[in-house]
Chain A
């Protein structure tokens, strides 16, 4: 299946900021994070198609995953 992964802020350093990956069925977000060599501790917010998700959420074909470190402002 195809999943689009978007990275933001410091997670972009040395990685593709927006890329479509071919993944096996039943892949979870935590697997993607591992694949991209991202330290779990650096991840604060996970979204699938703009809705809150967590490390254990399973991905489906066509999903858009957005991964953020801690960010804030106002």
Chain B
């Protein structure tokens, strides 16, 4: 078999049974792999009506057909499960090296079932797959866990694991691989914790078979050239990392500040990519087979160490969203998220929401063990990150995420989230297409389900007016579909600044021997998007939840370059449903599902 390894691992933690099963290639052609195939398998085997922490929930780790190949950024894997945060389908994507290593070991994915009686980890060394005791690792942070497992595993093993946050079922817990790469969002780390699964170790010695090696070689030269020649992937991201966005988003007046109460942060340059690069960057920290290398490695002064540096979203979440302009404090918060296994977006945004609760007098000092919860208090921000990871004191409430936190105080509307998942670092009030994307993302508040910032702010592939509604529904649909396809291939979304659907189809065909057109690739993305939508509807997520926090729909941005704007969702949503082939209530029509080959759903 080409591209795919042809084998899925099925591991039952209740019975201890480990099986190797053949991959269904017909299904793989329809759903590509990764996000698509993982979701299809999940839908068929588990369905929407399981509680995230129920033993019957499964955790699917999937790679794509291009993972583990030499295609640019082909190192990714995805984690598909039911989200404890949103109740929607979860699919969290991570880079680093783990995904490629799992492919090298001979597997396209792992289906984890049941729940172990005591803490365990899964050890995969080519054919040899074992469930091993992890009692001694329980409670340990990510770096300690990874270090200890490396000592007892074959050289160059790759490790993904959870930290204390996942063990303690924090609804915003991440899975961390290779020390600082995260399958971050939607609480997938807590599902792993609920199964008493501390880690998965992978080591492999064989390679993916390629259908047309010479053809691929020529094609990769072309793709590499496109990536090098593109200003974003060839210069912006390599030089500054994703943090390069801080200034441009702020200059547009859409850089959420103090829990989205404002959208312009005076001191943004202090936490920008330019500042990080000039003062603290030690080196780049790329993922597997990545010519872009946006990952950062920085100096953390307070700990006198070097570690993975923050992404743009993280600089925002712990920075302006908490009113903090000290970049070193953000490095620390980012580091503790990697250690405790927390999603940086949700963690920072939850502290920001708590700060607003405090500002409004809803959270009182007597709950805080003497610690401040004021916007702008950098040290408190770092302390709360740690306490959240440990569920200590008020940190126990923070670990539930901002929606449940704000609900405890009777004001869920202060949670800047969609479908209970915290929104990322762009104020949609003055980026209309991006706001539509937030409202309709299948995993709740998220920027990487259809990155409309690209056309609406960055001018890629062409510049759209960020305030207009015209054509936005169509753009959102195409972006969402293409993203679903890229996630399923096993590539990093950042390649899409330089590559288009035809490039992806070409690589897929050369690797797998398929004959897919770029339209068919987009159609697969559409199919995946509709499958996820059907899952969510069946799981009881109502179309009324395709919305934004009240603040963003009703209160205009108070100051700055985008002053006066609100998001006009009600004008966009009907058109979006229509473009998607859904009825006016947001439910995919029978015809649409049939056309996509989803009629049994």
Contact = CB atoms under 8 A, between A and B. Distances in A.
Interface in A21-74: 44-45, 47, 49-52, 66, 68-74
Interface in A7-26: 8-10, 12, 17
Contacts of A8: 247-248, 251, 274
A52 B463 contact: yes
B445 to A, nearest CB: 14
B253 A9 contact: no
B251 A72 contact: no
Contacts of B243: 73
A66 B494 CA distance: 24
Contacts of A66: 248, 251
Given A72-B236, A74-B447, A51 B561 contact: yes
A70 to B, nearest CB: 3
A17 B273 CA distance: 14
Given A47-B251, A50-B251, A72 B454 contact: yes
A69 to B, nearest CB: 6
A50 B245 CA distance: 14
Contacts of B230: 70
Contacts of B252: 47, 50
Nearest to A45: B459
Q: Taking each of B244, B466, B560, which has the highest tally of chain A beta carbons within 10 Å of its own beta carbon?
A: B244
Given A8-B274, A45-B248, A74 B459 contact: no
Given A8-B274, A9-B239, A10-B235, A68 B561 contact: no
Contacts of B227: none
B451 interface: yes
A74 B448 contact: yes
B465 interface: yes
Classify the secondary structure of B's interface with A: helix
Nearest to B497: A72
Contacts of B273: 9
Q: How large is the interface on B (under 10, 10 to 19, 20 to 34, 35 or more residues)?
A: 35 or more
A9 B244 contact: yes
A17 B236 CA distance: 17
A37 B15 CA distance: 70
A72 B245 contact: yes
Contacts of A2: none
B234 to A, nearest CB: 9
Given A9-B273, A10-B235, A72-B460, A52 B465 contact: yes
Contacts of A10: 235, 239
A70 B232 contact: yes
Contacts of A49: 561
A7 to B, nearest CB: 10
A73 to B, nearest CB: 3
B235 A69 contact: yes
B242 A70 contact: no
Nearest to B294: A73
B251 A71 contact: no
Contacts of B529: none
Interface string B275-315: 00000000000000000001000000000000000011100
Contacts of B163: none
Nearest to B451: A74
Nearest to A8: B247
B240 interface: yes
B177 interface: no
A9 B233 CA distance: 14
A9 to B, nearest CB: 6
Contacts of A72: 232-233, 236-237, 244-245, 454, 458, 460, 494, 497
Nearest to A67: B251
A40 to B, nearest CB: 13
A13 to B, nearest CB: 10
Contact of B231 (A6, A12, A44, A51): A44
Contact of A50 (B240, B451, B560): B560
Given A73-B241, A74-B242, A68 B248 contact: yes
Nearest to A12: B274
B392 to A, nearest CB: 32
Nearest to A42: B231
B453 interface: yes
Contacts of A12: 274
A10 B243 CA distance: 13
B493 interface: yes
A46 B102 CA distance: 44
Contacts of B497: 72
Contacts of A74: 242, 245, 312-313, 447-448, 451, 453, 493-494
A12 B272 CA distance: 13
B441 interface: no
Interface string B245-259: 101100111000000
B236 A9 contact: yes
Nearest to B233: A72
Interface string B454-478: 1001111001011000000000000
A9 B251 CA distance: 13
A73 B463 contact: no
A74 to B, nearest CB: 5
B334 interface: no
Contact of A70 (B231, B251, B447): B231
A6 B561 CA distance: 14
A73 B237 contact: yes
B450 to A, nearest CB: 11
Given A45-B459, A71-B244, 7 more contacts: A9-B274, A45-B248, A45-B458, A66-B251, A72-B233, A72-B237, A74-B494
Interface of B: 230-233, 235-237, 239-245, 247-248, 251-253, 269, 273-274, 294, 311-313, 447-448, 451, 453-454, 457-460, 463, 465-466, 493-494, 497, 560-562
Closest 5 CB pairs of A and B: A50-B561, A70-B231, A73-B242, A72-B232, A71-B236
